Structure formats: C-alpha cells, structure tokens
Structure 1
C-alpha cells in the first residue's frame, strides 16, 4: 500500500470516518423506523431488539478481546510485515481477535435483514466492503479476526432479535412512553453506534485504569 499513497490515504480516511461507517447504519435504522411497515407491523419492536443486540455485540466483543489470548495487530507484528509499523497505544493495547467492528456491523446488518431483506443485503455489503475490508488492507486485522467477528455478530442477531422483539410485544406497550422520552434515547443509542461507542469505551478505559490503581 505504501507504493500507492493516494489509495493508502483514501483507505485510511474510509477506515477512520464515522460518516461512511456507523452513520450509514444509523441512517438505515431511521429509514426503517419511519418506513411504512408492509409486514406484521412489528418492525419497530424488531428495531428496538436490533439496538439491544448492538449493545450486546460491542460489549461481547470487548469481553472476548480482553479474555482471549492477546493477538497483536498484523501491522504491529514483525513476523507479518517484516518490521512493526508504528501505531498509537490505543491499538497496541487492543487485541486483534475478534474484530469488534465486524461483530457490531454484521449484527446490525443481520438485524436489518430480519426486517427487510433488500435493506439487509445493502447493510451486509456495507459491513464487508466499507467497514471491514479497509481494516484488512491497513493491517488492523487478520482475515480470521473479521470472519470470527462477523460470525459472532450474525449469530447474536439471529438469536436475540426475534427473542427480544417477542418479549417487547408481549410485555411492553411501546405507545405508553411519550415521544419526548423515546426519541432522545433512540438518538443517543444510534449516535453511539454511529461512533462505535468510542466515547463510552474511552470512559470505560479510564474507569478500568482508576479501579486498577485503587485496588
């Protein structure tokens, strides 16, 4: 990639720009939220379930990355690239396996697919080509990191979205909550996955450091 600086710069921009990653998924979410339902009328329950699954997916991704044996990023592994490429401590401290990007975006894509096949296929293409491929090309993940993450994301949505949506339909009347409470909450969650929960994860890292110092 170093032989093609323009391509390398473009891929870096894509890999780091929330506008072409999480924001796209947030737009898809709101499109489906307001799009007239032609099916069983449960699409909003399923979208609530997609939000829940997204939070579970990013949490599980962090737990697995911290619990499994540490795996350095390809670009930081001299055995892969000949000499480690300098990267910031954010990536140095985070294990490569599994890809939390793959977990979250494939969980989202699968959830969208369960609501609309056409939209879901578009989300799958976005997750593979726009989100995961640049990270593979930049040496931020091995292919196996992405495949494992994608498999986890898909399985989580297949298991949780139907289950959680049925629980919501059976036990909660969504119309009882006023819009001025519902929509700010939805905005916060969709904003969070539009930014890959970066702010929350950074505060979590600070809290983890403080706890270690105290203990």
Structure 2
C-alpha cells in the first residue's frame, strides 16, 4: 500500500510539473507571437477592431467618464485585485499555499517592471492615439498626447491586472474567474481610451503569466516559505511592510514613478 501511495504521489507530481511547464510554454509562445505581430507583421484586423471600438468615443460623455474612472482610479482598479490577495491569505483552507501566493503575487507585480524593460529594448511603438494611420478620436477628457513618451508594447497595466487575476485563479477558481472578468474590463478601458492595442494587452498578460510560472520554481518557493515564516514570527514587521507593498502594487507605484521622473527631468 505504501509503495502504491508513493507511486500515485509521484504520478501526480509529474502531471503537475508537466501542466505548469505547458502553461509557461504557452505564455512564452503568446508573448513571442504578439511581439512579432507588433513589430514585424501587424494585423490589419486589429486596426479594424481598434477603429470599431473608437467609433464609440464621444458618443456618450457618461460612458467616456466611466472608462476614465475605471482606468485611472486605483481604488476601483488595483485595490480591488489586491483585496483578492488578502481574501486568499486569510482563507484557512489556503494557509498551506501562502508561500505560493506571496511569490506569485510579487512576480505578477514584477512583470510590470519587465514590461517597461521590454519597452526600452524593443523598437518604439506608438500608442493608438498617436498612430497616424489610425487617426483615432480621443474620448472625452483624454489628451491625444497622453503617454506619448512611452512605447505601447507590452502593457504594464495589463501585466499587473492579468497577473494578479491569474494568481487568484490558481488558488481559488471562482474568485479567480471574477478577477479575470474584472481584469478584462480594466484592460478594455486601456484599449478604449487609446492607450494600448489589443496585442499590447495580450502581450502584457502573457508576460505576467510566464513570470508567475517562473516564480513557482523551488528556489523562489523557498524564499516564499521564509517570508511566510517571517509573517508568523514577526507579524509586527511583516504586515506593515506588506501594507506598503500592497499599496505600491495597487497603484503601480505611480507616485514613486512621478517622483523619479521629475528628478530625472530636473537633473538632466
């Protein structure tokens, strides 16, 4: 019986490793595909879809306002997804998976930094609002020159939103499904406002999922295990630090980026 039990456990472990590897490969393939579409072979269909979505711009001031609020108000966007993290953290049934939750959440947030690095290393790609071939109409309240200094591919917002939703889904299917729907809505606002192409969103999401899959490797899980232990032995330090970290995740460290950007402009 013991031998059969070990074999059954090994079989499940092998299946789990295979599944995680396939997910990582699929995410990598999707990231490569969207990169090629963006810089090598643009899809005319994507431009048609973007123009179709843009036809709604300025048709309703209220709708444009709602899209702006969902895109810019962190209390409605990032905070909701971070709240999902804490819901999972305090679920008794998931306490054994806290290390996975921690490392994968950090990885999801880290994918935003990776997306910015990709933006710097790849050729400049204009935002839809600045793409002269599209000649899009800016929605009400949107400046056509918004984010013109940054390349659009891949989307760092999509990376964080989809990454967090994926982490939640891994640990809790129903809550994760709701998180994915919410993340999709947030990503749609970025497309509607003309900040991103659809491939930017897909590429950012693929990058986030790939990064989360890497965080599942044993070395990172050991770090997560140490952090979980720290949360139990030093909760008076862990939770204040976690609060600051979650604030940064929910806001995509917006204030810090503005501070650093301002300093760089003044100094150089």
Query: TM-score under structure 2 normalisation?
Result: 0.70
Match of 2:246 in 1: 190
1:110–1:158 CA contact under 8 A, matched in 2:
no
Contact 2:109 2:163 in 1 (8 A): no
Cα deviation for residue 206 of structure 1 reads: 3.5
1:12 aligned partner: 68
**Structure 2: distance between partners of 1:91 and 1:120:** 30
Cα RMSD of the aligned pairs, angstroms, is 2.5
Which whole-Å CA distance do the structure 2 matches of 1:178 and 1:32 have between them?
A: 20
Uncovered stretches (5+) of structure 1, i.e. residues with no partner: none
Say if 2:192 is the partner of 1:137. Answer: yes
Quick one: structure 1 residues 172 and 20, their matched pair in 2 at CA, closer, same or farther if it must change by over 3 Å?
closer
Corresponding residue to 1:152 among 207, 220, 235? 207
Q: Alpha carbons of 1:109 and 1:145: their partners in 2 closer, same or farther (altered >3 Å)?
A: same
CA distance in 2 between counterparts of 1:162 and 1:122 reads 27
Structure 2 residue 235 is matched with structure 1 residue 179: yes
Counterparts in 2 of 1:30 and 1:162: CA distance versus 1, 3 Å: farther
Distance of 1:50 and 1:112 partners within structure 2: 9
Measured after TM superposition, the shift of residue 165 of structure 1 is 2.5
Correspondence 1:96-111 to 2 at 5 A: 96-111=152-167
- Cα distance in 2 for partners of 1:188, 1:171 equals 15
Corresponding residue number in structure 1 for 2:108: 54
On the 8 A contact 2:166/2:209 being kept in 1, the answer is yes
Shift of 1:51: 3.4
Q: Which protein has the larger Cα radius of gyration, Structure 1 or Structure 2?
A: 2
Gaps of 5+ in 2: 1-56
The aligned residue for residue 40 of structure 2 is none
Cα distance change, pair 2–175 in 1 and its aligned pair in 2 (3 A): closer
| Whole-angstrom distance in 2 between the partners of 1:114 and 1:122 | 12
For 1:35-46, list aligned pairs within 5 A.
35-37=91-93, 41-46=95-100
**What is the TM-score normalised by the length of structure 1?**
0.85
